[in-house]
Amino acid sequence: MKDTTITDANMMDVYKKIGSNVKEIRKSKDVTQLKLALAMGFKAVGTVSLSELCIQGKHFNIEHLVKIADILEVDIRDFFEGI
């Protein structure tokens, strides 16, 4: 049976990969951080930029990912590639 223990470090790796995937997809769609942030309802790029890099304890939550998938017109599963 596989060990299903999830550590904080494991989750940080997951958040980093999701952030990296969002950034890669966003750039491939030629969408700036500002444009994405505004479309998500934010007034500045802070949440998007920090979450893409997974710094200062920021990461995308499921609501963010649903919105981003809709805005970028991709399947939400694309953000989980490589995890």
Cβ atoms 76, 69 nearer than 8 A: yes
Flag whether 12 is in a domain: yes
pTM for the structure as a whole: 0.92
47-77 residue pLDDT tens: 999 999 999 999 999 999 999 999 999 999 9
CATH number at residue 34: 1.10.260.40
For the beta carbon of residue 19, count every other beta carbon within 10 angstroms. Answer: 22
Closest CA to 58 of 67, 49, 69: 49
Flag whether 21 is in a domain: yes
Range of the domain at 63: 8-80
Distance CA 59, CA 18 (A): 9
Flag whether 2 is in a domain: no
The number of distinct structural domains making up the chain is 1
Cβ atoms 40, 64 nearer than 8 A: yes
- Tell me what pLDDT residue 40 has: 98
